[in-house]
Structure 1
Amino acid sequence: MSGVRRRLGRAVRATGRLLLGLLLVPVCVIGSVVFLLAFLSSATFVGLIILPYVVRLNRWIAGRGRKVAAGWLGDPVVAEYAPIRGGILARARIVLGDPMTWRDAGWMASHIVIGVIMAGLGLSVWAALGFDLSVPIWWWAPLPEHAIYLVGFALDSWPRVAITIPLHFLAVAIAGSYVLPLLATADARLTRALLATPERVRLAERVVELTETRTAALDAHGAELRRIERDLHDGAQARLVSIAMRLGVAERILANDPDKAAELIAEARLSTEETMTELRDIIRGMYPPILADRGLPGAVAALAARCPVPVAATVDGVDRLPAAVEAAAYFVVAEALTNVARHSTAASATVHVHGDEASLTLRVSDDGRGGADEASGSGLAGIRRRVAAFDGRTELSSPPGGPTTLTVELPCG
């Protein structure tokens, strides 16, 4: 009995899925007509202005179709669009050159017909069942003759009605319990085939993304090596040469002028201490020692304590992580808090670090003036490059007037 109820429930849900598709038909008609008019008028200046907005409307309509299909299939229907940005000509060129623009348009045009057909077939099953249940009403209605025909049979007597109607109802119910889910699945799969970004395209985009990420990582690594070499050459190496020269002079004059030799040795000792401090700073720039001593939670707490702006820091679910991931997280939080202190005019900030088996999520927020811009040299571009090197994700929300929230996700599985 439970199997019958389950199959009946699935048939009802399939009907709901087909009806949702039917509700999208008039929306697709509007979207198709508007897109066609905008495309035909794109040869004019006004058409170029309107076209990106029409494409955004089509993306929204297609998104509803993807959502309905994903709800039935149980898997997300993923689409990747080219971002619409730039001037008027650039925006028009982007939307016309994006294959997903045409896939959306093709789905809307086809759904106008297929959505009606699929919903019509589904509703015909329920119409047949409703007809069977309404036979007594037709039988007692004041009609000229008691002649009701069902699949070629004349239902002109109660014995025929008593035999034919239950058999027909049972046959339609059984067939419908199989047909309705098949219709809903076929429609959802067709929607996925048209509206999802093809796997080969996604793989090609992924290869391009990984190539860019690898290039950025190599560039960042090279820049870091050059910085370390420059710091060692201009700082520590020069100091060590100076120390060696002082000690050499002190060695030569030690017998004749011990006071001067002592002065040179004292200067060499002071310069040695300064060199050690500088070397510690260089090492700290590669991998902060506090990470080895206190781990990421302690390092984040120390960064929050040193920030001139009051910072509330919380860390949960974080144990020892790979050294590279810990270092990247540390520098992301450090750079973000530096931006808060220098540019935000914030009264307070929060840092939340959450870890699980697969990823580490960092969220830095402040109540400042907002309007953060990566192109302004605020270090945000460096954060994005550092995170991209780990195949991570960076999101920035900073509307004018604030608040500003930087969210970073680093894979650490």
Structure 2
Amino acid sequence: MNSTMPAAHGAPRSRAAALGRLLVLTAVVPAELLLLAVVLGSFALWFGLGIFFLFPATTRLARAAAGLARAYAGRWSGVPVPPPYLPRPALERTLHGWFWTGHDYQKNRRFASVSRTLRWLWKDPATWRDVLWVVLNPVVGGALAVTPPLLLASGLYTLACTVLALPTPGLAPDLAPDLGLGAPLALPLALPLALLLGLALAAAGPALARPALRLHGRWTRLLLGPTERSRLARRVEQLTETRLEVTEAQAAELRRIERDLHDGAQARLVAVSLRLGAVAALIDRDPARAKTVVTDAQENVAQALQELRDLVRGIHPPVLAERGLAEGLRALALDVPLRVDVRAELAGRAEAPVESAVYYAVSEALTNAVKHAGARCAAVDLVHADGLLRAEVTDDGRGGADPGRGTGLRGIQRRLAAFDGTLTLVSPPGGPTRLTMELPCALSSPRTSTS
């Protein structure tokens, strides 16, 4: 759900735009050559003189340049390139005051930070792929970028020279411009060939602009895209975070259930037990009073049963288990104090944990629309396509929702992350707010009612 890379705008629609972008990529080649000199100089100082303090700075400079290349590959070439870097290890302090860098112990925090940074940059394969890109891109990337504009310029130059070489009426043949096309007798044959060559070159430049731009993006992705190791490391990190969040959410849910049982049904059952003890003492000497106590005990039992039903419904709503996600959301819409339109297109049922996650995520979204957005109506769209269960909640509230300012949206993110789901939020100030949840899952055939 989180990415620092700008969104890809796709390949250009016109050849002129592609040529312009290739000219920009060509113009930055001198800066890339300067960066190459700086990077090679830092390595020479490290291995030659032992001066290693320039390595982190130049490596981060190379990472910044590579980040720009990834962004332009996504924005201009339509080839998204996610960052491949391994996460920086945490700097942990032991009980004895030493700092653990992930490799060794350091007494000084600054030395520990430098040691951690050096080892992190040195052991990350993406660092050396960045260095390889710095070395090769001025040649390969520069050639890909400069070829279409160079073809166009060559074609225009050839056409201009051909036009200047055309015979002028009243001008002696020996006064005609000499373009190296041979003797005056060969001039009538050479001019059409030069004209065709110029037209071909001028047409080839714009025709190859968009393919060359796409090829430049693929070249960038080849060197700067994530490797299999970085993908696995990022996946392990995501799974670790998800496991911790799910564990915390489960612990919080268990505490809530325990609190509800302790403060609700348990307290009422204890009161019933005390009242039944009082009945045993009153049943012989004051039957009327005993009857009143029994009636109160029955009322407490009924209230305890209702609280237990509410608690069970909060854990897993019966309508969700019996009738599926679509009907569960329609039943949920009836309990929300605003007008909700539920539209569902499901050819079957998802797994029970997935249905529960989507149900409570939609419930939280509708609750936020009522409490924080002041919405008057909302819409829930539920559809399954291409292996994804997609739920979209839209409300006409005041907008301005931000996951960083509250726990509701973060709770939805944690709930969906347990199933590799994603949450997309669009909430401009003034509204409307659109919350899109996607979870990978497969649908089973719909169940047949046994009634």
In structure 1, distance between residues paired with 2:231 and 2:353? 28
TM-score relative to the length of structure 2: 0.60
Q: Could you say if the C-alpha distance between residues 118 and 403 of structure 1 is closer, same or farther in structure 2, counting changes exceeding 3 Å? A: closer
Please state which structure has a larger fraction of its residues in helix.
1
Q: What is the letter of the counterpart of residue 26 of structure 2?
A: V
Please say if 1:63 is aligned against 2:71. Answer: yes
Q: Secondary structure at the match of 2:331?
A: helix
Question: 354, 367, 387: which one pairs with 2:382?
Answer: 354
Q: Could you say if the C-alpha distance between residues 316 and 117 of structure 1 is closer, same or farther in structure 2, counting changes exceeding 3 Å? A: same
Q: Secondary structure at the match of 1:407?
A: strand
Please say if 1:232 is aligned against 2:235. Answer: no
What's 1:290 paired with? 319
In structure 2, distance between residues paired with 1:31 and 1:69? 19
What's 1:302 paired with? 331
Q: What is the letter of the counterpart of residue 326 of structure 2?
A: P
Question: 336, 342, 349: which one pairs with 1:314?
Answer: 342
Question: 376, 379, 394: which one pairs with 1:365?
Answer: 394
Q: Deviations over 1:305-347 (max 9, x none)?
A: 3332x43423232232212111111111111111111111x34
Q: What is the deviation of 1:196?
A: 1.3
Q: Which runs of 5+ in 1 are unaligned?
A: 1-15, 38-51, 71-75, 84-95, 170-175
What's 1:117 paired with? 143
Q: Could you say if the C-alpha distance between residues 124 and 235 of structure 1 is closer, same or farther in structure 2, counting changes exceeding 3 Å? A: closer
Alignment of 1:150-169 (within 5 A): none
What's 1:386 paired with? 415
What's 1:80 paired with? 83
In structure 2, distance between residues paired with 1:105 and 1:399? 41
Please say if 1:273 is aligned against 2:302. Answer: yes
In structure 1, distance between residues paired with 2:299 and 2:243? 43
Q: Could you say if the C-alpha distance between residues 360 and 185 of structure 1 is closer, same or farther in structure 2, counting changes exceeding 3 Å? A: closer
CA contact (8 A) 1:58 1:105 kept: no
Compute the RMSD of aligned alpha carbons. 5.1
What's 1:325 paired with? 354
Alignment of 1:206-285 (within 5 A): 206-285=235-314
Q: What is the deviation of 1:101?
A: 9.7
CA contact (8 A) 1:397 1:404 kept: yes
Q: Secondary structure at the match of 2:313?
A: helix
Q: What is the deviation of 1:205?
A: 1.2
TM-score relative to the length of structure 1: 0.64
Identity of aligned residues (%): 39
Q: Which runs of 5+ in 2 are unaligned?
A: 1-16, 39-59, 88-117, 198-203, 443-451
Q: Could you say if the C-alpha distance between residues 254 and 371 of structure 1 is closer, same or farther in structure 2, counting changes exceeding 3 Å? A: same
Question: 192, 198, 202: which one pairs with 2:221?
Answer: 192
Q: Secondary structure at the match of 1:320?
A: coil
